Amino acid sequence: EIGSRACAARARGVVGVCTTPIEGSAPRKSGPFAAGWAAAVGYARVLHRRVAPARPQRAGSNKNNAGEDAGDDEEMPSRMDSFRFGHAKHSESRVVYVTADASAQGPNAGFRFKGNAISTGKYSPITFFPKGLYEQFRRIANLYFLSVAIISLFEAISPIKPYTIWSPLVLVVGLSMAKEAVEDYARHKQDHEQNTSLTERFNGTSLVQCEWREVKTGDLVRVVRDQAFPCDLVLLASSLDDSVCYVETKNLDGETNLKIKRGVEGMGGVGTGPEKMRELCGDGGDAYVECEHPNNSLYTFTGNLDVPSRTREVSVHGSSRNLAAAAEDRTGSEKISLVPSNILLRGSSLRNTEWVIGLAIYTGHDSKIMMNSSAAPSKRSTIEKGMDKIVLSMLGLLCLMGTITGIICGSWIKNVSPKHWYMDTSDTDMVFDPKNAPKVGVVAFLTSYVLYGYLIPISLYVSLEFVKVCQAMVFLNSDRQMYHKETDTPMRARTSNLNEELGMVHTVLSDKTGTLTCNSMEFFKCSIAGVSYGEGITEIERSIAKRQGRPILTKPTKPIEPGFNFKDARLEGDKWRSLPDAEHIRDFFRILGVCHTVIPEGEATRETICYQAESPDESAFVVAAKRFGFFFKSRTTSGMELEEPSYHSSGEISTVHYELLNVLEFNSTRKRMSVIVRTPEDKIMLYCKGADSVIYDRLSHGNQKYTDVTHQHMDEYAKCGLRTLCLSVREISQSEYDAWNVTYTEAAQSLEKRDEKLQAAAEIIEKDLFLVGATAIEDKLQDGVPGTIEQMMRGGIAVWVLTGDKQDTAINIAQACALIRDDMDVHIVNIEELVKQEHDREITRAQFNEQGKAQVAALIEAGIEKEAATAKKGIETCLVIDGRSLSFALEQDLAPRFLQLGSGCTSVVCCRVSPLQKALVTKLVKDSGKITLAIGDGANDVGMIQSAHIGVGISGQEGMQAVMASDFAFAQFRFLERLLLVHGRYNYKRISKMVTYFFYKNLAFGLTLFMYNLHAAASGQVVYNDWLMSAFNIFFVAFPVIALGILDQDVNQRSCLQFPQLYRQGQQNACFERRVQAGWALNGIYIGMVTFFVVFYAVHGGEADHPKGHVFGLWEVGTSLYTGIVITINLQMAQMINFWTWIQHVCIWGSIAFWYIANCILSNTDPYLSTYSYKIFIPTIAPTPKFWMATPLIVVIGLLPDLLYRTSRRLFRPEPHQLVQEYERMVRGTTPRSSVTNTPMDTPRHGSRYGSSAVLAEEGRIEVDEPEEGEENIEPEEPTEPEEPAEPEEPEPNEVERSDEEAPPREAEEEKKADESA
């Protein structure tokens, strides 16, 4: 009982915050800076507190504390022992002891931490076959064929030899499992390379080399330059000053810029030698880390390091001294807050630093990178889901046919078979026992279940996977027009499952910054103390004026240096010192130079310094401060140094030091960032920058001079398309800061809800601010964005832009991007007046919620009525809604009406939205049944990308998180035009034709088996050779459909971009709708029935088949039937193909030729293997003229109706793509071929003049590679004699009628005539 109580008490003591000071020690500031600074900057300064271990006091004791402590030492086990007993096992925190003892008796042994060896393989040698087989037979088709193969083992039931069923099943499943095995072997090989990589760990006496898998939790690990970190480490010491190091996280999050990490303050002595390491390890229980349990959050960490005071050093204004020199008798321990910048994550590598020493806290599968390795949400295309329904339908048809067969067989055996005396059915087994008709019917059903299995295409999944991989890896990834030369970024299809879904997109939801714009920020204008500064016209203004036909006389200005494009003589040099509000101007410049998380690199001169910033706008602010004279030079442990002009003297430049006390970092919830510094004037100042919506709420009342005029300036900047931020300042007294710092320190050291407590502490100090001014940053549009959006909208794709910008900024950028045109009606949903009333405290929050929801509901209803009225007039509508209104619109009762309004609009602009709202809007549109595509470039877009049907990531300035979460990735928004209108449309039509054709051919083939079985009294007799039946789906008809899925084009690439209206076929699912599927099914039924009846009742109706009077037997007639089916089905493919290449010729004619070759081989093969085909073809069938004459007759009768239907449909009710085909043919007849033939990737010289890439290439704004001589085409080009595809659709004549503005420019009069005729 005593032991249990002691364990629980000790556990609570570890979890709690130790606050008892050492007797006689001076109070010391606690670690506010550590937690606040860490996440945003990768930089920490932990001001520490010296504490003694907390001792729980037993109830009812009147002894003094000293005596009680002594009693505790005698009665209670140590803290290490208490955890070893298991009482800490269920603790809310994780405790890791610093130790060199990794044995079973070590202090960490009782926690059973995971080892550092990893295994990312899907299978092991033991689980490969059972798990692999399970994965394969999860597919309905494979499971069905397994059941057929099992039934085929019973010869009394199966009409087919077992090996002819098992062979193709084993082949298909084996190929899939072999692919899995190869991929999994590569994973295991990579795991082995990582597990056997070398590093160094402390063994108690020295650092020794070991493999990664030998590292244990609690070890001290040394990593040298350019090595990867073997596990998640707490950085203690490094070779650089202040224990900093540089880390590359490219393999972790895709970002290539180096990040700076800071060691735990005071622990730098660990790097001086083994003695210090041994001192830190102590007896195995002196130092420990208490932190959160393993999780998958890469950018957060909560924990404390508890170390003996004797092992720490303290940094005082940049200099270090050993604490042992400060006091002769030092006992107790110190608790230090650990923050994300102290953590070195597995998956990242050490750069520009000779060595680091860290403490292993998360090893193996507990490391954050492994916790993030779970598979992304599985996405399946609409066609793939429809394909599963067809498989189930075919399975139902098979069961129906089997039931009919069983009934007929049972009835015939019972009622008819006794009349045929020669069959002697009275002396048979149960298979044909006339006395037990139900049992005969059941056996006949099982026999049919096996025989009719060819209705289900066993090779469909394998063929489809092969085709999709080719589409993604060969065509998408190799498209040179989606390659960005400036950043050397090619197109990357990260999955092949959604290729055809790209051709069915209804709605594109896009981020703005970095997606539509370059995310290359330039400081352009500013408002300081109520005065606006800055000259020039933004690119957004130029673009709007150009679209409206207004001339602009001024030329665009080039930036003075990257990030700075500001011109105003009033602020040049030191002229600002003579202005009336010079003090406020100085505060403005100081905020730019101090309130940031930038890391300077290189030589500290104005010309050579390089700033490492987490966002482009932060870099622009620091560069602007430098240009204004406030040069940020360096960052130290205690703060930062700036060169700035003296304010009171002659303005001479001097280097000053700002002591950095706290950093309250920026996040999407706070929408602001603050720093608390001690200025050179020895004042404690809070500098804050953030969105106007949050800064204005925190301004002091009564002493503001510039709020109204600054707000007016920001509105003007927003209309120019500039991004604005407010800058504010507050002076804090020493007493107020000391009181607040206690609260902040407790929050920083808390292990539970640390982020919430830190935000609450920040709210206390971020108040009563004084507004100094506002900044205006220009983010220029990417090349080709307006043209791409216009093309998508012409193709019927609605575009939604979700941005955090102000409404005016969003509207102006939408106008520049062609989202809002002059001929459109704009409906705005905004409750700005209510927001202002709430801000001015005229209404309460409850009143705001009630009135806001009612007002938003009324605006949505008005928008629906307006949209319906304008639609009747042929006018398009754009919806603009702000974030506060959107929060109401997304509520459950308003969401359907909001979706109805948005769906009726051509474009939607949502401004002031949060990352969560982006994901919610995307999910709302997705749940409506429309195919959605989300595109973004930053971490705040990940939720939106993963919520959509298709996610596209842009590799831009905000890291690679969006790319890593996406399905497709490229570098520029303009590539989306080609991805959807060309590749997406092609892939949709190819896959839909491929799937429907697969079921068509199998239905036709299976019906011949069904009809002959009925012809043979449902006895289960087969008409084909077993091997030939198994080879039907694998050899004789498989390759042409694969070629179709990879290469077919109904129109050339130029026309796809010239006529984006063609994309609407995919949106309407015109090639895979129920009517199309039914049409193919009827065609398959017709082919099967006609072929059977022509062969059995016309060609071989009873007269002699051979000149010598011989009559064909069962297998000869079956060969004729098989020949007719194979040739008819292959030539049906020839009627479908729009684009012929030598590959199609080889596949179609080669498949037919292979059929004859296979018969010749089987005819001369041993009867045991060839079964019923032995001596059938060569000696009997081949010499018979009737066989050769009958085959063309069967083919003509089978294909003639389809040919007549296609021809009449093309002549009298043509589809849009058929009109374009005629246009292409006419252009080829009136224009020299070189002027209309596309290059391999549709380069502008010979390609589209309508795609934005081609237009930009002609203008010289982008560069597109020309194909070299003899270079192989990456995609097939224009068709020669296009044939009509099989899918019927009602034509929309207006879809391809082009206005004069849409018509491509012609250089010859003949082309104009051809255009008019088309």
Q: Which residues are marked as active site? A: 511
- How far apart are the C-alpha atoms of 996 and 529, rounded to whole Å? 70
Tell me which residue of 1181, 1153, 1175, 1180 sits closest to 1162, measured CA to CA.
1175
Strands 220-224 and 355-362: antiparallel
Show the tokens assigned to 738: 């000391």
- How far apart are the C-alpha atoms of 909 and 811, rounded to whole Å? 8
Strands 770-781 and 723-732: antiparallel
26 DSSP assignment: P
- How far apart are the C-alpha atoms of 1295 and 1291, rounded to whole Å? 9
In degrees rounded to 5, what are phi and psi of residue 610? -125, 135
Tell me which residue of 230, 226, 184, 227 sits closest to 211, measured CA to CA.
230
Residues 996 and 1123 sit within 8 Å (Cβ to Cβ): no
- How far apart are the C-alpha atoms of 1218 and 1282, rounded to whole Å? 8
- How far apart are the C-alpha atoms of 722 and 1075, rounded to whole Å? 51
- How far apart are the C-alpha atoms of 638 and 602, rounded to whole Å? 20
Residues 6 or more apart from 561 whose CB is under 8 A from it? 623, 627
Task: Compute CA distances 787 → 547, 782, 854, 1132, 1250, whole Å.
Answer: 12, 11, 38, 40, 9
**Backbone CA torsion sign across 419, 422, 427, 431:** negative
Residues 751 and 303 sit within 8 Å (Cβ to Cβ): yes
Task: Compute CA distances 1178 → 969, 1154, 1184, whole Å.
Answer: 56, 15, 10
The distance from CA 479 to its chain's CA centroid, rounded to whole angstroms, is 20
Residues 801 and 910 sit within 8 Å (Cβ to Cβ): yes
Show the tokens assigned to 7: 């364990």
Q: Where are the alpha helices (DSSP H) in 313-470?
A: 368-371, 382-415, 437-451, 460-470
Beta bridge partners of 769: 699
Q: How many CA atoms lie less than 13 Å away from 124 in the CB half-sphere? A: 4
- How far apart are the C-alpha atoms of 428 and 519, rounded to whole Å? 84
- How far apart are the C-alpha atoms of 1173 and 1188, rounded to whole Å? 18
Burial class (CB in 10 A: 0-12, 13-18, 19+), 634: middle
- How far apart are the C-alpha atoms of 19 and 333, rounded to whole Å? 11
- How far apart are the C-alpha atoms of 967 and 970, rounded to whole Å? 11
- How far apart are the C-alpha atoms of 943 and 958, rounded to whole Å? 15
Beta bridge partners of 1154: none
**Backbone CA torsion sign across 1228, 1232, 1237, 1243:** negative
In degrees rounded to 5, what are phi and psi of residue 1095? -70, -45
- How far apart are the C-alpha atoms of 89 and 112, rounded to whole Å? 9
- How far apart are the C-alpha atoms of 107 and 124, rounded to whole Å? 33
Look at residue 633 and give its three-state secondary structure: strand
Beta bridge partners of 508: 799, 933
**Backbone CA torsion sign across 360, 361, 365, 371:** negative
